[in-house]
């Protein structure tokens, strides 16, 4: 049993832009040489989330619309009024969804459905290089 980690950086637009990071996740698992275990995928920062989705453009847009419905980007917030930081909606989306996810590894690969991709969602109100911490634990 051992553990290996790596930080990656993913460019993304704001307002819950959704980027597919399955290739980076799979590549890190392959390089690590682990056969059985977990990979934990954690977004560094309080305005991003990791989740899984069938990554196709129509559904990605549906999901962004749903997040906009849940916490509209132009909603007045105490956070915005107090700090002049107009990303209160970003924080609420991120805290509701939660930060990272864990994916099991089996026979050297992440265990995922055929149409289940790992994504980072940048809820912030601007383009950002999102930092993601990948950590493989197992054998």
- Contact set with a second copy (CB under 8 A): 1-3, 5, 36-38, 40, 42, 44-46, 51-54, 56, 58-59, 61-63, 66, 70-71, 77-79, 81-83, 88, 91-92, 94-104, 106, 111-113, 115-117, 131, 133, 135, 137-139
Least separation in angstroms between CB 15 and a second copy:
16
Cβ closer to a second copy: 30 or 61? 61
Cβ closer to a second copy: 9 or 46? 46
The whole-angstrom separation of Cα 139 and Cα 123 is 35
Least separation in angstroms between CB 26 and a second copy:
15
Query: Which residues touch 73 (CB under 8 Å, ≥6 apart)?
Result: 15, 89, 125
Least separation in angstroms between CB 33 and a second copy:
15
Instruction: Count CB-CB contacts under 10 A for residue 89.
Output: 25
Cβ closer to a second copy: 29 or 94? 94
Cβ closer to a second copy: 62 or 127? 62
The whole-angstrom separation of Cα 126 and Cα 139 is 39
The whole-angstrom separation of Cα 85 and Cα 24 is 32
Least separation in angstroms between CB 110 and a second copy:
10
Cβ closer to a second copy: 13 or 109? 109
DSSP-based three-state secondary structure for 66 = helix
Query: What spatial distance separates the first Cα and last Cα of the chain, rounded to whole Å?
Result: 5
The whole-angstrom separation of Cα 126 and Cα 63 is 18
């Amino acid at each position: 049993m051992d553990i290996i980690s790596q930080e990656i950086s993913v460019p993304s637009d704001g307002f819950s832009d959704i980027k597919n990071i399955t290739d980076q996740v799979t590549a890190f698992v392959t390089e690590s040489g682990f056969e059985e275990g977990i990979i934990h995928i954690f977004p560094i920062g309080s305005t991003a989330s990791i989740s899984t989705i069938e990554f196709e453009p129509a559904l990605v847009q549906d999901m962004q619309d749903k997040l906009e419905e849940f916490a509209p980007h132009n909603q007045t917030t105490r956070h915005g009024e107090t700090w002049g930081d107009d990303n209160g909606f970003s924080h609420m989306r991120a805290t509701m969804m939660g930060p990272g996810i864990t994916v099991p590894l089996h026979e050297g690969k992440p265990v995922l459905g055929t149409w289940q991709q790992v994504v980072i969602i940048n809820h912030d109100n601007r383009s950002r290089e999102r930092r993601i911490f990948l950590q493989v634990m197992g054998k």
